[in-house]
Chains A and B, each alone.
Chain A
């Protein structure tokens, strides 16, 4: 029989909403963040799913994690949509691909708009469609093909 154990979460994120504006810590290309936070604080990152904070509140460790994530995402192959009939729509924004749209391929061969999947991968290394983990092992096997 189901028993859903749980405890109340203590990390109320509301103080983060009043974040001061931040200075950019990276000069490299920022990921496109389609869903902007209401607060005027700098870019919002997701150290783990469901937890967001602006860059000045991150520990050094988190910043390294984010840099790694960014670097990893950049290694996933990208391209432009070629009109392939198998993938007609990006399931994240639910908009049909148009030939020439920048897309990113995951190792499971699901494709998404680059900007849509990048925003998701910052939160979770799983394919939204098949929940296949997009991990480093898969990535290397992909690269050596």
Chain B
């Protein structure tokens, strides 16, 4: 692994462990990630017994050169964006660990697990109340949104 920056070395390690021992219901597109270490796609299945059982989603992770000091940019992509009070129809996710509460001890795997648990605890499938306005006006990068995390219980 010579010639890699610390950030690349860490991503390489995370990729290996995700490929070897993927968390249940998740699969990283390893070909894509190996081509471009800074852009990963993760296929995710809705957990059994939840409102998302049987659905499949795709999560995109974009890493900057300062990962893991900077959080990755994480969005849902593809045709099926989960209908959830913290997920906008453009794929942006309102989850504090992706911005304010990020820590370099978090990893792709722990972010994925948080997102699965956020989906799993949902009791009613609906978009955030301000979805239409947000999607029209927001920056393409969800990290540029100054989120106010009002409620972590949903």
Contacts and interface: CB of A to CB of B under 8 A. Distances in A.
A120 B104 contact: yes
Contacts, number: 93
A15 B151 CA distance: 34
Main secondary structure on A side of the interface with B: loop
B85 interface: yes
Contacts of A93: 6, 9-10
A102 to B, nearest CB: 15
Name the interface size band of chain B.
35 or more
A5 B14 CA distance: 33
Given A2-B85, A4-B147, A92 B154 contact: no
A137 interface: no
B13 interface: yes
A50 B70 contact: yes
Interface of A: 1-9, 12, 34-38, 49-50, 91-95, 116, 119-120, 123, 126, 128-129, 131
Interface of B: 5-7, 9-10, 13-14, 65-70, 85-86, 94, 99-101, 103-105, 107, 128-130, 134, 137-139, 143-151, 153-154
